[in-house]
Chains A and B, each alone.
Chain A
Amino acid sequence: MSLDTTDSYVTEDGRTIGGVVMEMKNITLRFGGVVAIKDISFDIREGEIRAIIGPNGAGKSSMLNVISGFYHPQEGEVWFHGRKRPSMKPYQVAAQGIARTFQNIALFDGMSVLDNIMTGRLTMMKSNMLQQAIWFGRAEREENQHREQVEKVIDFLEIQAIRKTPVGRLPYGLKKRVELARALAAEPKLLLLDEPMAGMNVEEKEDMSRFILDVNDEFGTTIALIEHDMGVVMDLSDRVVVMDYGKKIGDGTPDEVRNNQDVIDAYLGVAHD
């Protein structure tokens, strides 16, 4: 498989990977004097699982924040569906079909799992505050529709038993799953996962891996994820971007990346001169 073709192809396990949906062109992001991302370019294809890996502080989460519109790079362009994306607010990006989860869980602790997941559909709600307050006509119809979609996600992620439980009472692994559920409720075309498996035990990791694969398979969702567990990354992803000190040091299939000398150096810790 070569990286510069624009045609779609079929993977070994029978999934179709389409053309490029998102392209990062020469992105540079600075915070004052600190350069978090330095001239990085890569693309994400439709239907693929794209991993971003690298040692701590490599700039992975910053990269994800650029994609989600939370950070605005000083240099470079973000192309989405063949068009250059203007500078956008995160909610505008979300409306384009990009949803994400966070490295540190960002849920509403006091609200139930169901309500938390419902917030994932907020961008799609059309009824105004007055209609919602008096619960009439459009508001009621809308909520029923959204609830139906949310229930499908609950079923998909097998969290029926905690539907009414306040999120604050859940263990860590389940909170991560609820966060994924909220992202899925938005029916995203591109799903960004920031360390979906951090702090999980082996069994929870296996569950989460299965859910990620199933999401990709069932809904055809394109997924970009950051992950530290190399075993997971190599098993899950179709292509991997490797970052170190804000620079891209590798890009390719898991096998290609695994044999890349720069990547091996970065992970084994060769002295920087």
Chain B
Amino acid sequence: MVQDQTAAGAFDSIPALLARNVKLHGTRPAYREKEFGIWQSWTWAETSEEITHLALGLLALGIERGDTVAVIGRNRPAHYWAIVAAQMCGAIPVPLYQDSVTEEMAFVLDHCGARFVICGDQEQVDKVIDAQETIKHIEHVIYYDKRGMRKYDHAHLNWYHDIQEEGRVAHQRLEPELNARIAELNYDTTCVMLYTSGTTGKPKGVILSNRNIIESAKNSSEFDNLSAGEDVLAYLPMAWVGDFIFSIGQAYWTGFCVNCPESADTMMTDLREIGPTYFFAPPRVFEGQLTNVMIRMEDAGRVKKRMFDYFMEHARKVGPAILDGKPVSGWDRLKYRLGDLLVYGPLKNTLGFSRVRVGYTAGEAIGPEIFEFYRSLGINLKQLYGQTEATVFITQQPDGEVRADTVGVPSPGVEIRIDDKGEVFYRSPGVFVEYFKNPESTASTKDAEGWVATGDAGFIEPETGHLRIIDRAKDVSKMADGSMFAPKFVENKLKFYPNILEAVVLGAGRDKCTAMINIDLSAVGNWAERNNISYASYQELAGHPKVLDMVQAHVEEANRSIAEDTMLSRCQVHRFLILHKELDADDGEMTRTRKVRRNIVEQKFADLIDALYSDKSEQYTETEVTYEDGRKGKIKATLQIRDAAVVDTASAKGMAAQ
């Protein structure tokens, strides 16, 4: 679809884009959701009607300009509609992470000053009601799923459809007011407020204007030639900026269809049924899928297994080159075609990637093997680098210039600068307006000229102009002898092994590096089954000597690879242990987007860290855990600590110097 550059000026809000889409694509599907085993769909015209009725209903409830409306629930069309309906009323939508526990939710509800809360189901309503003990500004709670809600006091509680019905009935009276409010929206009006998950400290509310969202959506849609014919699967948290830009920003800009899975557990089946053409996933999703494929191939018959191995090897050799349009011999092409018929095609179909034209991964570094695996199958998987404050896009990889170790060139409209300490700064039309009620943080993040610090250390490759990220700027530090310490660099090397789910590398200010490791239960569990190792729990498997042997081999292999890096060769892991529990967001050890909270982990496992830096070969520990319902318990364990072989680069250099 051709978009006039100046047209963005006229379509300066999401409701304005909605009206445009009704005209342009009225009868095309805008949303689909699988319910009762069937894909239900709504055209743009129907969507507009649903949203308008909800907006009218909210007006009837007395919503004012500038009110905040919290939206809590899984990806469902109705929840996306609630966001746009709030915008129509001149209110500010605030999507929240639906899996956060009551106290986390209470903090955000309190901070954003929500007057209205729209909940997906009873579970979310319960949390909001709990939070209302301390928060007095919530006036109306609206729920979508009726189940279990009959017994609640409905004085300030409403069913979503009832609100829509009220709006429908009152449209004569309220439509002029609604139209007036829609007309007031412009590029500077707040489009959405998103809370960053906060690797450090409490979450901050990032205010993004219509300009931020629409300009970013426009630029990125043009970058990848997205059209109204795309299908995306909306399954990542609605509170995350990525989902907002894909499922609302780009969807409304280009007019493509957003598909919502039946439930979180059916995501893989739904993915296969929809076959998205444009797909986004954090590395762990791709890792998880690859691990599944590999486990299933281990269990497959001998003929299938050999065929898979043979053609996958060929794909690894020529697949990426064919995808990038580089010259490949006719024979290799023919063989690749045959492989596509026998292996790649069916495999892509099983994974749900048959139709993917553009795929992105971001958020964390992705293992080169994983990345190459998907690309060799002919899936155009690319990397992008971004953050909430930039409305996602900072850099992304253009077609044909895709590599595992870079994050691409600056996105259209983005300027990039690296300061003398190596920290990456950017400036773009997507740069956020401010942090809500937090001018100090706004001032320390964004300078007067609009440059924003990413908090990441990196450099631009002179030959290609691609950005490479090393680590979080604040995590990059010095070891006792003054050599550079970048934990993420080492952790990523370790995490690329399917058996290792998570790793925390320590070494700042120390004389050597050590690591705490989480095994991947599905991968190691399958390995245990094949090797007749019995275990009763995660803890028992994690402490099994053979598992330790296997992880030790991985650590030593990673050490050899780290030793090759001239800058970071001192970061080799000397000692390690396998943690007795998975790091978990419920215990505060990770953020909701599954990034390790380093300082909390270091505090919590201080006894283990002391043991890592002593001569002990085992350590007894007790750890408090929080269950999903908020109760607490304790896990006790005695952990083995192993020494890993390191490549002695320091003395080699020292000798050379002498």
Taking Cβ atoms with an 8 Å cutoff, the residues of A that contact B are: 13-15, 147-148, 151-152, 154-156, 158, 160-161, 163, 203, 206, 210, 214, 217-218
Contact = CB atoms under 8 A, between A and B. Distances in A.
Given A148-B36, A155-B35, A160-B263, A13 B151 contact: yes
Contact of A161 (B35, B265, B627, B629): B265
B86 to A, nearest CB: 27
Nearest to A213: B148
B151 A14 contact: yes
16 contacts: A14-B151, A147-B37, A148-B36, A151-B37, A151-B38, A154-B37, A160-B37, A160-B265, A161-B265, A161-B269, A163-B37, A206-B629, A214-B147, A217-B151, A218-B147, A218-B150
Contacts of A154: 36-37
Contacts of B147: 156, 214, 218
B471 interface: no
Given A161-B263, A161-B265, A152 B151 contact: no
Q: Is the interface of A mostly helix, strand, loop or mixed?
A: helix
Contact of A151 (B36, B266, B629): B36
Counting chain A CB atoms within 10 Å of each CB, the highest count among B36, B147, B265, B629 belongs to B36
B520 interface: no
A217 B150 contact: yes
B286 to A, nearest CB: 20
Interface string B24-48: 0000000000011110000000000
Interface size classification for chain B: 10 to 19
B537 to A, nearest CB: 12
B262 interface: yes
Contacts of B628: 203
Given A160-B263, A161-B265, A217 B35 contact: no
A217 B150 CA distance: 8
Q: Is the interface of B mostly helix, strand, loop or mixed?
A: loop
Contact of A160 (B148, B151, B266, B629): B266
Nearest to A162: B265
B547 to A, nearest CB: 23
Nearest to B627: A203
Interface in B244-302: 262-263, 265-266, 269
Contacts of A156: 147
Nearest to A202: B627
A15 B37 CA distance: 31
A214 B150 CA distance: 10
Nearest to A151: B36
A163 B36 CA distance: 11
Given A148-B36, A155-B35, A214 B262 contact: no
B36 A158 contact: no
Contacts of B36: 148, 151-152, 154-155
Contacts of A155: 35-36
A154 B36 CA distance: 8
Interface of B: 35-38, 147-148, 150-151, 262-263, 265-266, 269, 627-629
Give 8 closest A-B pairs by Cβ, nearest first: A161-B265, A151-B36, A161-B266, A151-B37, A160-B262, A14-B151, A160-B266, A160-B263
A21 B262 CA distance: 38
B148 A214 contact: yes
A33 B41 CA distance: 64
A151 B36 CA distance: 5
A160 B261 CA distance: 11
Nearest to A15: B151
B148 A217 contact: yes
A260 B147 CA distance: 36
A253 B627 CA distance: 32
Contacts of A14: 150-151
B320 to A, nearest CB: 34
B259 to A, nearest CB: 15
A228 B479 CA distance: 59
Contacts of A214: 147-148
Contacts of A163: 37
Contacts of A152: 36
Nearest to B150: A217
A147 B151 CA distance: 29
B263 A158 contact: yes
Nearest to B629: A206
Contacts of B150: 14, 217-218
Nearest to A217: B150
Nearest to A163: B37
Contacts of A160: 37, 262-263, 265-266
A154 B265 CA distance: 13
Given A151-B36, A155-B35, 20 more contacts: A147-B37, A148-B36, A151-B37, A151-B38, A152-B36, A154-B36, A155-B36, A158-B263, A160-B37, A160-B262, A161-B262, A161-B266, A163-B37, A203-B627, A206-B629, A210-B148, A214-B147, A214-B148, A217-B150, A218-B150
Counting chain B CB atoms within 10 Å of each CB, the highest count among A15, A156, A160, A210 belongs to A160
A158 B36 CA distance: 11
A148 B627 CA distance: 36
B40 to A, nearest CB: 12
A154 B148 CA distance: 16
Contacts of B262: 160-161
Nearest to B262: A160
A103 B148 CA distance: 27
A155 B269 CA distance: 16
A190 B562 CA distance: 67
A78 B159 CA distance: 43
A153 to B, nearest CB: 10
Nearest to A147: B37
A137 B147 CA distance: 35
B329 to A, nearest CB: 43
A166 to B, nearest CB: 15
Nearest to B269: A161
B430 to A, nearest CB: 36
B68 to A, nearest CB: 31
B153 to A, nearest CB: 10
A170 to B, nearest CB: 13
Nearest to B266: A161
B121 to A, nearest CB: 11
A203 B629 CA distance: 9
Nearest to B146: A218
Nearest to A161: B265
B268 to A, nearest CB: 9
A210 B148 CA distance: 9
Contacts of A203: 627-628
Nearest to B38: A151
B134 to A, nearest CB: 25
A15 B629 CA distance: 26
B607 to A, nearest CB: 28
A186 to B, nearest CB: 18
A163 B262 CA distance: 12
A14 B36 CA distance: 29
A82 B35 CA distance: 40
A273 B342 CA distance: 77
Contacts of A13: 151
Nearest to B631: A202
A218 B151 CA distance: 10
Contacts of A210: 148
A20 to B, nearest CB: 24
Contacts of A218: 147-148, 150
Contacts of B148: 210, 214, 217-218
Contacts of A158: 263
A174 to B, nearest CB: 11
Nearest to B35: A155
Nearest to A210: B148
A151 B262 CA distance: 12
Contacts of A147: 37
A158 B263 CA distance: 8
Contacts of B151: 13-15, 217
A158 B264 CA distance: 11
A178 to B, nearest CB: 15
Contacts of A148: 36
